[in-house]
Structure 1
Amino acid sequence: MGNILIVEDDPSIRKLVRVNLVKRGYTVSEAGDSHQAIALFQEVPVDLVLLDLLLPGLSGVDICSWIRARSDVPIIILSARAEEDLKVAALDAGADDYVTKPFGQEELLARVRAFLRRSYVSAKANDSRIQIGELSIDLEARRVFMGENDLHLTRTEYAILAELAHHMDAIVAHDELLTQVWGPEYRGSNHYLHTYLGRLRKKLGEYGDLLETVPGMGYNLHSKKIF
């Protein structure tokens, strides 16, 4: 089913999440602080990380950066509403998703299932590389370059850009994009697209305007600069 690492300093939350995951057949490892998290990540195979933001020792953002430098394993952030700035920092550090405390167990389990079964967008275009000015999308290597510089997109950011690239100059509906990138459970969760498209535009710099928001419909990746 999958090996899941829970990094959470609250024993009661850790136990509740562990019990529900084990009940559904997942293998679970637990860490109560950042040092345990790093040690376990290096010792056991991990398919997904559930990561609290406020931890003894290194912060959840630091742990997220450390993991992302070594692996593209999905990371779901567990955050309280008051930790909005930390949540944004974690997303910028490479986290794939977040749930806000207090969260329902079924909601968390649905997100775990979606990430463990989702297959990221595969290359469906005839060419393995899409070139728009200095912007290069390498569909085979799953990397994006601006000139010679790797933009270091997260898996989710790449999946969004690749899906839009496969439908170049056409509008991709909100729910279609959500389904292709996150899974059918995320239909209607348009705030995800708003968050990730904003971060993607920022990384694309002057080419960010290639990503057009079509109000009430979806998103369009243009094949040439429109500014």
Structure 2
Amino acid sequence: MRVLVVEDDDRFAEALASALTDHRHKVVRAGRADDGLRLARHADIVLLDLGLPDRPGLTALAELRRVSSVPLIVVTCSGEDHLVLRGLRAGADDYLVKPFRTDVLLARMDAVMRRGGRPRRGGCPVVEVGDVRVDLDARRVTVAGAPAALTHREFDVLALLAEDPGVVCTREKLLSTLWRDTMPSSSCSLNVHVANLRSKTGRPGLIVTLRGVGYRLGG
């Protein structure tokens, strides 16, 4: 897998690149946001630090999301709740706080990537809820005929719900399937992605919350 590491700390970037290379990933490193934005189109996944020298990482993330849905994990030193929320709302698929174990990063990378490459379960490849059309095979969502710009992880959440339209999907299933854990940080991330889906589609009733249980597609 081609991994773009956007990180200005040389020592950390070298250690991270070495660990990823040991696990047979091809790593490209950028030390500045401008270089990261230029190289992102060639990457399978981006690991983005927020403390970059030429511009704030969140600004770079927002700029990248305007032109690309490449899977992206924020990898940074600050785990303050408001920064985590801002990162996820800006389009990050996941958020990891330094220091972290390599196996944790690899698991998160795999969780972000594997839904897109996993064979879809049997059933209708296209699900329609009102004027929202979810093409599970093409990984495409349209609203009233217009494409909805979703991140990789946002589509994953919607696709898992769309695999069984009208059936409640528990929070535990969503978290264990997409994040591979049920930690509070992952639960918070799920909340943000659901809110993003409602906002980006402009259909607040697209996903119905069943408090204490989970979610289902509306309609």
When normalised by structure 2's length, the TM-score is: 0.81
Contact 2:49–2:75 (8 Å) recurs in 1: yes
Query: Distance in 1 between the 2:125 and 2:194 partners?
Result: 23
Q: Which residue, 156, 162, 167 being the options, matches 1:165?
A: 162
Residue number in structure 2 paired with 1:152: 149
Q: How big is each residue's C-alpha offset from its partner over 1:30-75, in whole Å with a ceiling of 9 and x where there is no partner?
A: 1111233244446xx4221110112111332333244444443211
CA pair 134-149 structure 1, distance change in 2 beyond 3 A: same
Q: Which residue, 84, 92, 97 being the options, matches 2:94?
A: 97
Residue number in structure 1 paired with 2:5: 6
- State the 1:98 CA deviation: 0.9
Residue number in structure 1 paired with 2:50: 53
Residue number in structure 1 paired with 2:71: 74
Matches of residues 1-150 of structure 1 in structure 2 within 5 Å?
2-41=1-40, 45-81=42-78, 85-119=82-116, 124=121, 126-150=123-147
Q: SS in structure 2 opposite 1:152?
A: coil
Query: Distance in 2 between the 1:82 and 1:123 partners?
Result: 34
Query: Distance in 2 between the 1:126 and 1:18 partners?
Result: 40
> Match of 1:156, as an amino acid?
R
Q: SS in structure 2 opposite 1:98?
A: strand
Q: SS in structure 1 opposite 2:154?
A: helix
CA pair 40-170 structure 1, distance change in 2 beyond 3 A: closer
Residue number in structure 2 paired with 1:217: 213
Query: Distance in 2 between the 1:123 and 1:111 partners?
Result: 20
Contact 2:134–2:159 (8 Å) recurs in 1: yes
Bigger-Rg structure (1/2): 1
CA pair 155-120 structure 1, distance change in 2 beyond 3 A: farther
Higher relative contact order (CA 8 A, sep 6+): 2
Q: SS in structure 2 opposite 1:6?
A: strand
Query: Distance in 2 between the 1:215 and 1:104 partners?
Result: 33
Q: SS in structure 2 opposite 1:186?
A: coil
Report how many aligned residue pairs link the two structures: 217
Q: How big is each residue's C-alpha offset from its partner over 1:160-219, in whole Å with a ceiling of 9 and x where there is no partner?
A: 11221221221112232234434xx334543332221122222343x3234222233221
CA pair 126-22 structure 1, distance change in 2 beyond 3 A: closer
Q: Percent identity?
A: 33
Contact 1:121–1:163 (8 Å) recurs in 2: no
Contact 2:2–2:45 (8 Å) recurs in 1: yes
Query: Distance in 2 between the 1:10 and 1:83 partners?
Result: 20
Q: Which moved more, 1:155-164 or 1:88-97?
A: 88-97
> Match of 2:126, as an amino acid?
R
Query: Distance in 2 between the 1:123 and 1:71 partners?
Result: 23
> Match of 1:208, as an amino acid?
P
- State the 1:78 CA deviation: 1.5
Query: Distance in 2 between the 1:117 and 1:132 partners?
Result: 25
Structure 2 alignment gaps of length 5 or more:
none
Q: SS in structure 2 opposite 1:119?
A: helix
Q: Which moved more, 1:162-171 or 1:127-136?
A: 127-136
When normalised by structure 1's length, the TM-score is: 0.78
Q: SS in structure 1 opposite 2:197?
A: helix
Q: Which moved more, 1:112-121 or 1:89-98?
A: 112-121
